Amino acid sequence: MAFRPEHELHKRRFGRNTGLGLILVGFVAIIFGVTIVKVSNGSFMEAYDHAVRPSITVPESSN
Amino acid sequence: MTDATNHIGTQHPEAQLSDYFALLKPRVMSLVVFTAAVGVFVAPAPVHPFLAAVAILFIALGGGASGALNMWYDSDIDAVMKRTSGRPVPAGLVAPGEALSFGLWLSFISVVMLGLVANWTAAAILAFTIFFYVVIYTIWLKRWTPQNIVIGGAAGAFPPIIGWAVATGGISFESVLMFCLIFMWTPPHFWALALFMNEDYTKAGVPMLTVTHGRRETRRQILVYTILLAPIAIGTAFTAIGGWIYLVAAILLNVKFLLGAVRLWRRSEAEADADGYKAEKSFFRFSLSYLFLHFGALAAQGMWVKLGMGAW
């Protein structure tokens, strides 16, 4: 089956579509960068894995 | 198979990416970016450079969104005025509905992103700024009162407050002073423009002070606001963000601005007509440098302090 010839609209809007594509790539890069910075600068977090460990016990002196 | 797209854009010139960019009022955005950046920079709390840059980008985008909404609502008067007739909506490049939807989506994205990147106080002030510019200034005041520029000028004065809030999460005396500096500068700046662009506003029926009260009164008001502006601009030197560098710059700039305002006040319309509003145009041009140099001096002062060279 032969390819359909490119529509004139696609040629006319090539610049606009390329620009929008670049903007979207830039937006993704920003989100990625913000995530990296926020995670790197965030306070240390530990999830609870159903096992007692020193970092989640209350020191005796505080009782 | 029918192809409806055959008819799209064949009758009118097609909007390019640059036309959508023009909807954001890039020249206004440059002022927003600069003053917001200074707000972040001079604030006492450090911000990661990448987060600061992204926050400023979304503040600028929010400013641009309000510009697009302004162009949507004002397309009728923009078409009448020579200065604005080439804007994308009156030129027929972007449909009014498209400008509206573009502005609303960008407003939403910029506010949410600023909240996520920085904090929700900064995002809330940005949302209020967009609301103020579009609803209070564009829809309500602009076509109703000659004080439109005075009250509406508040919208353009918010960026340093937002920048400060990005860094500190709040508002302070210093950020309010930066707001006041732009707020008091706006009337002399726009009224100087109105003095030599009066015909445009008359044709569009916008009640600028020059249209409702005449040029004589406008010249007097320019002088009054310039006198009120000087103590705010110079007084900022004696706060936590001020210092010697800023004080010297503020004194020089305000003396020149005041002398310019006195010159405009003394001029008659015959004199202005004779030289093609030379002094008014020169005052308008200087007003742009005035604001950029004040914020530049604040940034320089901030840099001086950050380098450990001492403050007051």
- Answer yes or no: do B117 and A34 touch at CB < 8 A: yes
Give the minimum alpha-carbon distance from B87 to chain A in angstroms, rounded to a whole number: 18
Name which of B8, B14, B48 is nearest A37 (Cβ-Cβ).
Answer: B48
- A10 touching B (Cβ < 8 Å): no
Residues B8-58 have pLDDT tens digits of: 444 567 788 899 999 999 998 999 999 999 999 999 999 999 999 999 999
Contact with chain B for residue A30, Cβ under 8 A: yes
Are A33 and B16 inside 8 Å of each other by CB? no
B269 vs B193: CA distance, rounded Å: 15
Contact A15, B17 (CB under 8 A): yes
Res B4 pLDDT > 90: no
Residue range B196-232, pLDDT digits in tens: 887 778 888 888 888 889 889 999 999 999 999 999 9
From chain A, pick out residues whose CB is under 8 angstroms from the CB of B50: 33-34, 37
Provide the b/e sequence for B183-206 (b: ≥16 CB within 10 Å): bbbbbbbbbbbbbbbbebbeebeb
Residue A20's contacts (CB-CB under 8 Å, 6 or more residues apart) are B17
Rounded average pLDDT over B103-122:
97
Q: State which H helix or E strand residue B19 sits in.
A: helix B17-22
Q: What is the pLDDT of residue B5?
A: 44
pLDDT of B138 higher than 50: yes
- DSSP of B112-124, one letter per residue? HHHHHHS-HHHHH
pTM of the prediction?
Answer: 0.86
In our burial notation (b when 16+ CB lie closer than 10 A, e otherwise), range A36-54 reads ebeeeeeeeeeeeeeeeee
Q: Of the segments A6-10, A19-23, B146-150, which one has the largest average pLDDT value?
A: A19-23
Looking at residue B56, its pLDDT comes to 97
What is the percent of chain B with per-residue pLDDT over 90, rounded to a whole number?
73
Is ipTM > 0.85 here?
A: no
Q: Which residue has the higher pLDDT, B3 or A40?
A: A40
